[in-house]
Amino acid sequence: MTNANSESKNPIFWCLVAVVIGAGLAIWGAIKGDCGGGPGCWVGSGFLKIAGWILIGSGIGGWFALGNRKS
């Protein structure tokens, strides 16, 4: 059996997780916000899109910053 803690201690792994979760939130917000302003529109879609893009940006930025360091 492999050591499951080795991935959870890797900061680049968490950057990848942030990118995946951010993409999911941004897509979910885009789907919920694509209703044309009718009465069935979901008001939280803007928050989901913004939070998703922030997670994507911070995950990619962290990935580049941590991936280029010397070990």
pLDDT, tens digit, for every residue of 10-52?
888 889 999 999 999 999 888 877 666 666 666 778 888 899 9
Helix then strand then coil, % of the chain, to nearest 5: 70, 0, 30
Structural tokens at position 48: 């989901």
For 42, counting Cβ atoms within 10 Å of its Cβ (0-12 exposed, 13-18 middle, 19+ buried), the class is middle
CA 2 – CA 45 distance, rounded (Å): 40
The pTM assigned to this predicted structure is 0.74
Query: Residue 58: which pLDDT band, with cuts at 50, 70 and 90?
Result: very high
